[in-house]
């Protein structure tokens, strides 16, 4: 008798592991992820070649949601994206001619990103929020190698201009206006 009950319960027991994770509210739903960027800001959207030998270029943008992204203009596909964190609503995005990195500035942080895949190259944080960020288009030793330095202007009580090394983000020099 016990054997018959055990054999009758065996098919039911074999079905349980296959269906124990399905819940009624999960039925007929499609799970997917759409990588969103947000509305691009006009002053931080531009075409740039991800590396000097490339014939194609990507669209780089910093959106109103503070998402830095690279988009393929051919089909609109998102190549990479990074969410920027930092205080302040002002954000900056710059790229130099022939440079394979893009620079972003948000709040009191300046960061360099690989233009090809969006990996963080370096990041530097200051105590005061940024007012502007520019790339030096000068020909010197570092620029000859394809890496250009950046100028970061910080505001606050005293304006501070810093020249940042294009390879490491280290401060090369700093000037404080005490007026």
- 76-131, pLDDT tens digit by residue? 999 999 999 866 667 999 998 888 999 999 988 999 999 999 999 999 998 888 99
Mean pLDDT of 123-146: 78
- Which pLDDT score, from 0 to 100, does residue 93 have? 95
Helix (H) or strand (E) holding 59: strand 58-63
CA dihedral 80, 146, 51, 42 (to 10 degrees): 60
**3-state SS assignment for residue 159:** strand
Q: Predicted confidence band at 11 (pLDDT cuts at 50, 70, 90)?
A: low
- Which pLDDT score, from 0 to 100, does residue 116 have? 93
Of the ranges 10-14, 66-70, 86-90, 127-131, the best mean pLDDT one? 66-70
Question: Does residue 165 have a pLDDT over 70?
Answer: yes
Mean pLDDT of 129-149: 76
Question: Does residue 156 have a pLDDT over 70?
Answer: yes
Report the chain's mean pLDDT, rounded to a whole number: 83
- 39-57, pLDDT tens digit by residue? 999 999 999 998 878 888 9
* Integer Cα distance of 52 and 96 in angstroms: 11
Supply the pTM of this predicted model: 0.77
Domains and CATH numbers, the chain: 40-177 (2.40.128.630)
Residue 53: partners with Cβ closer than 8 Å, 6 or more residues away:
none
157-163 long-range contacts (CB < 8 A, ≥24 apart) are 159/131, 160/126, 160/128, 162/126, 163/136
């Amino acid at each position: 008798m016990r054997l018959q009950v055990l054999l009758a319960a065996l098919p039911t027991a074999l079905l349980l592991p296959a269906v124990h994770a399905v819940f009624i509210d999960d039925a007929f739903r499609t799970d997917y992820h759409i990588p969103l960027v947000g509305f691009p800001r006009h002053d931080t959207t531009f075409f740039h070649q991800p590396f000097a030998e490339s014939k194609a270029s990507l669209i780089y943008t910093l959106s109103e949601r503070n998402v830095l992204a690279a988009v393929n203009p051919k089909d609109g596909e998102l190549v990479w994206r990074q969410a920027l964190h930092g205080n302040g609503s002002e954000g900056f995005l710059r790229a130099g001619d022939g440079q394979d990195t893009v620079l972003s500035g948000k709040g009191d942080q300046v960061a360099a990103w690989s233009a090809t895949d969006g990996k963080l190259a370096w990041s530097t944080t200051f105590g005061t929020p940024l007012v502007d960020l520019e790339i030096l288009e000068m020909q010197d030793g570092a620029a000859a190698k394809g890496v250009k330095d950046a100028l970061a202007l910080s505001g606050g009580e005293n304006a501070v201009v810093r020249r940042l090394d294009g390879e490491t983000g280290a401060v090369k020099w700093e000037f404080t206006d005490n007026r």
